[in-house]
Structure 1
Amino acid sequence: MTAHAEDNIPGNSGTALELGPITLIGQGAATDGYQPKRTSLATGTDAPLLDVPQAVSVVAAPVLKDQAARTLDEALANVSGITQGNTLGGTQDAFMKRGFGDNRDGSTMRDGLRTAMPRSFTAGADRVEVLKGPASMLYGILDPGGMVNVVSKMPELTQRGEAQAWGSSFGGGGGQVDVTGPLTAGSNLAYRFVGDIQDTAYWRNFGRVQQKTVAPSLAWYGDDTTITLGYEYTRYRVPFDRGTIFDTATGKAVPVSKRERFDEPYNITSGFTHLARIGISHKIDSNWTVSANYAYSHNWYKDDQARVTAYNARTGALTRRADATQDSNVDVHAVRADLAGKVTFAGLRHQLLFGASYDYSDTLRTDLIRGPTSTAFNIYRPVYERLPFSRNVVATDSDQTERLETSSVYAQDSIELGDRWIVLGGLRYQYYDQY
């Protein structure tokens, strides 16, 4: 930008004064309205989407708000190449990304870290990012289809707040409050509080979706250092709905209403989750930044179900068994530290990333219940409450234990070859111990 002093300014001698060029450099926001601008998901360093050599889709906060999205399934309806997978009766996140994916496959993260949350999208979510294609270099063991990252709402230094209420045509509704701002006027310490409650009738012929979430957080914004603290608690009670039945002879769903359920009113999963996180980012100088993030999450749940084990296509009779999982606990610790910087070497600009990560997950399903079977249910003449729930603990199926511990180091270099080409390469070493 060039400026000239005009001759008619009082006190001017009549000689034009030419100022030197002024260059404005800013990181910019991740999104501008509906339009995503920047991301750190694919490269680990903040970069414009045009400079990312992989397909990254961002569902921005205004999109989620305008569409009133309340589940990750609804949010990801905006992204191509993503379809719903086996959600374990509607209780888990499960997405097929370019043909790969399952529930509990570790590909759905919160703020770039693994968690124990069965449903990662809550009222505390700000936006959703999707990386299509291989992501193991930065995020460890993953299927090559990609990953989904839910970004949390952060405290802001501008005071604002909003409240909303909604209703459902199926019956029931909910409400949400979201307030943020500085703790005191002119302070660098900001807070945010998100609260949400919903209680709606299920879209099929019985059941209710009930969920409560509270998510307080704090952030301190210094000149060169940012520190964030966050906590989220969610209690849920949702239908455990295995869906309909396909006739193997016709290859089609059985000819009954899609709203008709073949289980029992006690088909419910209930539980709660805790998510605590801390993040520190420090700008060493104009080129180098160091950051560290840690998250601990816990999920406890139990469920009951009338499980369909056989179908008689001639008569429409089902064989069902009363099953349950009681006292299931999942704990996850996730740590990540990164050093990112820009250097010029051999006449080329390099954006470097060095990092280390550690993940530990522990799952224990204590009591597995296998009840009696019954053939007293017909899909064409459904009569419920003939198969009571069971509390018959089967010792050989119980105390299911899973543990996975991984430690990794990685390095990456993004090299600018002129104005049109960027070459990105990296290396990861990962050690894992699985039980």
Structure 2
Amino acid sequence: MNDSKHREITTMKSSLPAPLVATILLIGSSQAIAESAPQAFDIPAQPLHSALQKLADQAGVAVFFTEQQVAGKSAPAVKGRFSSREALQKLLTGSGLSYTFTGESSVSIKTADSGSDARTTMPAVTVTGKAVYDPTDPYNPDYRLPNASTATKTDTPIMETPFSVQVVPKQVLEDQQVVRLDQAVRNVAGVNTSSLNQGTTDGFIIRGFQNNITYRDGMLLPTILGGGTTKREMANLERVEVLKGPGSILFGRSEPGGIINMVTKQPLATPYYSLQQQFGSYDFYRTTIDATAPLTNDDTLLYRLNLSYENAGSFRDFVDNERVFIAPVLKWNISQRTQATFELEYQHFDETNDPGITNIGTRPANVPINTALHEPLLSKNKGDRVLVGFNWSHEFNDNWKVSHRFNYENYDFSTMSLFFGAASNNGDVDRFLNLGPENDSSRYFNSLNLSGKIDTAGVHHQLLFGFDHFIIDDKFVGNCCQSAPSYNILVRHI
């Protein structure tokens, strides 16, 4: 019996080098050891077998392993306050070994495939991400907007839209400090400014077609006699969406090249306040304010207010501009499925009509770029624009929704301008005068849409039924095309 016992002990010693076991009496169960309170460890980086010895000494546990398991392996430094389990995990990092508690104060090191009870507990990992993507969040710096409404008049992912749609998001407008619409759409392939894009008109060429018609939240913004009234203010624009190709099936009057739709900022439940001051060349000064927040504790009433003031000169002689813009919006969340929005825009403009530099033959005239062919006292565009809007929507259920939008817009302005054609070879330019001292333009717009989602034979469909009604009432007092004194572009005038 004694011989048998002696042989058993000898077998165990032959598999464990004598100095690799350190034992200190520790009262408690294996679960208590595994969840022991943090204590101080100071184990330098060293071979794994000696690091395990250090851990046994400092933790007060017995650690069992074989020489073959730890041969050639190193352990990282462990310094700080950890539980016994945490300290052991750090020492075994990258070694391919695991462990298990075999008694009240003993731990057995195992290879990854040494048994079903072998395990390696990974340290806790914290994952931070967005639970919900909100493209209207004023603090969201993303450049990518996954959805656009212009192509289908529904909030549809661009990847699922069978049209070419490109969005210029809020972050791009802020990064580029955009103050005019042409500065925004230059980010869109296939869209260029045209000869109509002058002092009082937004004019573009989209896929080769001339276009000076734009949309605001899906509402047509017509121009007067193709000449425009004033350039669109950007202070309250959330983003600009460009639909390339024919869109008349949804928008009625549009050019075949595409549609530029400006999406305005709406009231938010997240408070946001911004004051911005811009300075630029040629006495350019622009101040903007953007504020939004709830008016009630339950977010039933929300508001948004955008203001801007601009005063600017130009690299062109006798050109200056002054603009004032105010745009308050009030949103009423009647219920979770019903909302109504009231909005107002007021814009005052006092700007110079600048026809630019003429051409001689097929080339621009070789004159200084600041040369002006207009008369300062006869080249003014001054007036006011007022827009009043009301829109509401109601969701019958998760699939069906009805929405209605009504906008009234009025322009009251006076305009005087000179225009001309090409210059002769000696530099003479024939100029003509357009006088419009009293102009009034009123526009009425109604849009009623019913959208829904249905499934047929496993195929998902989005449906849209809509009706638009548009009235323009323009009144002009003035005359056009009278001859004005000629001008020689090559002679220096003082």
Tell me the residue number matched to 1:246.
359
Superposition deviation, residue 348 in structure 1: 2.1
Change beyond 3 A, Cα 1:308–1:231: same
Aligned ranges 1:71-150 → 2 under 5 Å: 71-87=180-196, 89-103=198-212, 107-115=213-221, 118-150=230-262
Tell me the residue number matched to 1:230.
343
Please give the alpha-carbon distance, in whole angstroms, between the structure 2 residues aligned to 1:230 and 1:77. 29
Matched, 1:196 2:305: no
Q: How many residues are matched?
A: 355
State the SS of the aligned residue for 1:138.
helix
State the SS of the aligned residue for 1:302.
strand
Aligned residues of 2:360 and 2:424 also touching (Cα < 8 A): no
Please give the alpha-carbon distance, in whole angstroms, between the structure 1 residues aligned to 2:281 and 2:231. 23
State the SS of the aligned residue for 1:286.
coil
Matched, 1:323 2:429: no
Of 323, 329, 333, 2:444 maps to 333
Residue identity opposite 2:184 in structure 1: A
- Unaligned regions of 5+ residues in structure 2, if any? 1-129, 223-228
Matched, 1:383 2:493: yes
State the SS of the aligned residue for 2:166.
strand
Tell me the residue number matched to 1:68.
177
State the SS of the aligned residue for 2:376.
coil
Change beyond 3 A, Cα 1:341–1:26: farther
Q: CA RMSD in A?
A: 2.3
Tell me the residue number matched to 1:262.
373
Superposition deviation, residue 365 in structure 1: 1.7
Residue identity opposite 2:192 in structure 1: T
Superposition deviation, residue 118 in structure 1: 4.1
State the SS of the aligned residue for 2:201.
coil
Tell me the residue number matched to 1:352.
463
Change beyond 3 A, Cα 1:38–1:327: same
Tell me the residue number matched to 2:70.
none
Please give the alpha-carbon distance, in whole angstroms, between the structure 2 residues aligned to 1:121 and 1:60. 16
Aligned ranges 1:169-318 → 2 under 5 Å: 169-221=281-333, 222-248=335-361, 251-266=362-377, 267-308=379-420, 311-314=423-426, 316-318=427-429
Aligned ranges 1:392-431 → 2 under 5 Å: none
Residue identity opposite 2:430 in structure 1: T
Superposition deviation, residue 369 in structure 1: 5.0
Please give the alpha-carbon distance, in whole angstroms, between the structure 1 residues aligned to 2:189 and 2:306. 30
Please give the alpha-carbon distance, in whole angstroms, between the structure 1 residues aligned to 2:324 and 2:180. 14
Superposition deviation, residue 25 in structure 1: 11
State the SS of the aligned residue for 1:207.
coil
Aligned residues of 1:109 and 1:120 also touching (Cα < 8 A): no
Larger relative contact order (CA 8 Å, sep ≥ 6): 1
Change beyond 3 A, Cα 1:324–1:78: same
Superposition deviation, residue 246 in structure 1: 1.1
Please give the alpha-carbon distance, in whole angstroms, between the structure 2 residues aligned to 1:322 and 1:130. 35
Residue identity opposite 1:72 in structure 2: L
* Larger-Rg structure: 2
Change beyond 3 A, Cα 1:140–1:322: closer
Greater share of helix residues, 1 or 2? 2
Greater share of strand residues, 1 or 2? 1
Identity over the aligned pairs, expressed in percent? 29
Of 157, 166, 183, 2:278 maps to 166
Residue identity opposite 1:263 in structure 2: H
Residue identity opposite 2:449 in structure 1: D
Superposition deviation, residue 27 in structure 1: 8.1
Residue identity opposite 2:488 in structure 1: N
Aligned ranges 1:10-49 → 2 under 5 Å: 29=135, 33-49=142-158
Residue identity opposite 1:231 in structure 2: L
Superposition deviation, residue 139 in structure 1: 0.5
Aligned residues of 1:115 and 1:333 also touching (Cα < 8 A): no
